[in-house]
Each structure stands twice: as structure tokens, then as C-alpha cells.
Amino acid sequence: MTGIMLLQMSTRFTGNAVHEILGILLFILFIVHNVLNLNWYRSVLKGKYNLTRTISLISNLSLLIIMTILFISAVPISRTVFTFLNLDGTINIRRIHTVAAYWGLIFMGIHIGIHWRMIMGAINKMAGKKQLNLVVTSFMRIVATLIVINGIRFP
């Protein structure tokens, strides 16, 4: 999903149609991701909250709100997929969409950072071999570093 979100940020290279189609794919994956993690929603009101759990809750809820704003604001500004709705997306809706996209990237990064060990554990489990695990871990760290550098260099 993060890769799609980053690709979404390169609309001037991919074009609007690709941007909107990937946006729909991202929306579907977002729903699937949340359905697969329904246990997290069930556990929100249970147990004690330490600093890590509180930060996780705030970042997850923020990401949920931001992504909802992103998907809702996408429909009226659509120039390809949802044109049949004849909605007039104003410049303000486009600005809201853009701001939500940037904040979405920030909170997606926080979300990934919080769950990094779990992500790497799943990748390592799929990879199976210790040497491959080191290669995958190193590759993921390099990719994450390049994404951060790109974000700093091309805001």
C-alpha cells in the first residue's frame, strides 16, 4: 500500500487515469487491511495504555481519518473514473485532497515504523533462510532510507 501511495504522488509522470485507478486499488486494499485487522478495533477499549500503545492508537486513528478524507475528497475532483457523477470539485476540495495525501504519507510512515518488527517478522517467515532474512532486512532499510531522502529532496 505504501508503494502505491508513493506512486500516487507521481501523477505528473503516470497521468491522471493511472492516479485514479491506483487510488481505487488503494481504497480496496485499505478496506481489506482494516477488515484483516478487526481484532485491533475490538481491543481498543481493552487493557491498559502505555506510551507505545497510545502513540499507536493516535497514529492509527489519524491514518483512518486521513485516508477517509482522502477517499471522499477524491470522488468530486475525479476527471476520469467518477465523471459520470457530474460533481464539481472545487479547488478547495483539491487542496484538502492534497493535504490529506501528504499527511497520509506521514502517518503511514509512523504506522509502518510502529509495526516494523512485525512486518520484518512476516517477511523473514516467508523467506525462511537466515541469510535471505539479512538481505531482505537490508533491502527494506535501504528502500526506507531512499524514500525518506526522496521526501526531503522533493517535497
- List the pLDDT tens digit at each of the 155 positions of the chain: 878 888 888 887 888 899 999 999 999 999 999 999 999 899 999 999 999 889 889 999 999 999 999 999 999 988 888 888 878 778 899 999 999 988 888 888 888 888 888 877 777 777 665 555 667 777 777 877 776 676 655 54
Residue 142 lies inside a defined structural domain of this protein = yes
d(CA 46, CA 90): 42
Instruction: Look at the chain and report how many structural domains it folds into.
Output: 1
pTM: 0.74
Residue 131 lies in a domain: yes
Whether 138 is covered by a domain: the verdict is: yes
Residue 101 domain flag: no
- Only one residue has cell 485514479, namely 20
Domain interval for residue 122: 115-155
DSSP notation for 53-83: HHHHHHHHHHHHHHHHHHHHHHHHH-SSTTG
Cβ-contact 16, 79 below 8 angstroms: yes
Decide if 154 is inside a domain: yes
